[in-house]
Amino acid sequence: MNTTKSGQWFRQGWIVLVLLSALAVIGAAILVAAPPSSEFSETAPLAFGKELAVTGEVVMIEGTVQVVENPSGGIKDAHLIMDHLYVARVIGDRPTEFQVNEKTRMDEDIHVGDKVEVVAAQDGEALSIKKTE
């Protein structure tokens, strides 16, 4: 092998190595300089007094069924009293559970499959639930 060709390959190898090292340094600098994500993490606790807004699809509703008899006739109606609402941001994602009570504001009935926005307190209590579509 000719010494000029081996020297040329050696220089080309160094050039490639220097370029890859520079790219690695630039990539690391970008990662370090990136601002922290403001997206809610289920494992990160919220600061006291903060509220959280979650938009997603209702995947499950838990509650108790109450049977109400119409006083004017013998017709009975069954009503679901919602206790817990489970909302998934992405289908297949682990749903977020919210406690629903008499203080929760809802403009209309919520059903499984509805797209909703839930504003909740730090302890998971749903303050308001509204359909988004």
CATH number of the structural domain spanning residue 64: 2.40.50
Residues 21 and 56 placed together within one structural domain of the fold: no
> Is the residue at 82 inside a domain?
yes
For residue 117, give the nearest of 61, 54, 52, 39 by alpha carbon. 54
Residues 29 and 57 placed together within one structural domain of the fold: no
* Domain coverage including residue 88: 52-131
Residues 18 and 60 placed together within one structural domain of the fold: no
- The answer to whether residue 1 scores a pLDDT higher than 70 is no
**Total domains in the fold of the chain:** 2
CA gap 83, 97 in Å, rounded: 10
- The answer to whether residue 48 scores a pLDDT higher than 80 is no
Residues 75 and 22 placed together within one structural domain of the fold: no
- The answer to whether residue 42 scores a pLDDT higher than 80 is no
Query: What's the pLDDT score for residue 108?
Result: 86
Averaged over 25-36, what is the pLDDT?
63
> Is the residue at 77 inside a domain?
yes
What single-letter amino acid sits at 64?
T
Structure letter (DSSP) for residue 94? P
Residues 16 and 72 placed together within one structural domain of the fold: no
What rounded mean pLDDT belongs to the chain? 77
Sign of CA dihedral 33, 39, 42, 46: positive
The answer for residues whose C-beta is within 8 angstroms of residue 133's C-beta and 6 or more apart is 114, 115
- The answer to whether residue 56 scores a pLDDT higher than 50 is yes
With beta carbons less than 8 A apart as the criterion, state whether 51 and 119 touch: yes
> Is the residue at 57 inside a domain?
yes
> Which one has a higher pLDDT value, 62 or 49?
62
Averaged over 107-126, what is the pLDDT?
89
> Is the residue at 4 inside a domain?
yes
Residues 12 and 66 placed together within one structural domain of the fold: no
- This prediction's pTM: 0.55
- The answer to whether residue 95 scores a pLDDT higher than 60 is yes
> Is the residue at 84 inside a domain?
yes
The answer for residues whose C-beta is within 8 angstroms of residue 13's C-beta and 6 or more apart is none
For residue 110, give the nearest of 90, 83, 91 by alpha carbon. 83
> Is the residue at 13 inside a domain?
yes
With beta carbons less than 8 A apart as the criterion, state whether 87 and 58 touch: yes
Query: What's the pLDDT score for residue 91?
Result: 67
CA gap 34, 115 in Å, rounded: 32
> Is the residue at 47 inside a domain?
no
